[in-house]
A and B are shown apart, each in its own frame.
Chain A
């Protein structure tokens, strides 16, 4: 699997972390019902988050930039990857694909002609005001 190879790429096992443990602890605690967090678990989660950052950047870059011989990783590359990968589904709301205002209006129009649910529509409409 390409995935695994990439993550393994130049990985040196180490007990050092780059991200601050205290911040990762705060983030972990913000999740409901997290009990005690042992130092070992905190270390592992920090490492894991670091791996994730690198994984996300590398995958998005490989999928788009490398192919187009373009050397800048852009937001669009990330949102495209999030849309494509099943295991990144949890980021769909966090890194949504950007759409143009006129595309959005088109979507709204289609929605209106299709949907019978009034509540949904009023919701989307208020969002369009923000755009």
Chain B
């Protein structure tokens, strides 16, 4: 749960970097504008989350899926985000799949006694991070 309202703020440095990347070289952003964008981003995340949750509930699902989010973006007039996000999602899914496969391979290696301890423990570390 949220204890302090600051817990809902996104890190300023990251926001500043994202903005800088989006604007042409040599452009500046006032402090006030940066703060407003950061706030807007938090509100955007809450807005999309609650809209997606509502959409999922309408379909009698208890948890939101990637599809719910993409559909919500379409409905809320952010359809321009969908192609990029779909691509990102593909890359992400592939990465997760590869990780699983390499973990399975490591297990096989371990049972034949070939596993390098370091690589298998690295995979375990990544997995526990995901589970958290």
Cβ contact within 8 Å between A49 and B45 = yes
- Chain B interfacial residues counted at CB < 8 A: 68
Whether A35 and B63, one on each chain, are in contact in the complex, defined by CB atoms closer than 8 angstroms, is yes
Is residue A71 contacting chain B, with contact meaning CB distance below 8 A? yes
Q: Please, which residues of chain B bring their CB within 8 A of the CB of A61?
A: 22-24, 27
| Chain A at the B interface: SS class | helix
- Residues from chain A with a CB closer than 8 A to the CB of B53 are 31, 33-35
* Contact pattern, A 41-79, Cβ under 8 Å of B = 1, otherwise 0: 101110111111111111011000100000111110111
Query: Is B80's beta carbon under 8 Å from chain A?
Result: yes
Q: How far is the CB of B105 from chain A (nearest CB, A)?
A: 20
Q: What band does the interface of chain A fall in when counting residues whose beta carbon is under 8 Å from B?
A: 35 or more
> What residues of chain A have their CB less than 8 Å away from a CB belonging to chain B?
1, 3-4, 6-8, 11, 13-15, 18-20, 23-24, 26-41, 43-45, 47-58, 60-61, 65, 71-75, 77-79, 82, 86-87, 90-91, 94-95
Q: Can you add 5 more A-B contacts, CB < 8 Å, to A8-B83, A27-B45, A29-B2? A: A72-B28, A73-B30, A74-B32, A86-B77, A90-B47
Residues on B lying within 8 angstroms of A by beta carbon are 1-2, 7-8, 10-11, 14-15, 17-19, 21-24, 26-30, 32-33, 36-50, 53, 56-57, 62-66, 69-70, 73, 76-81, 83-85, 87-96, 130
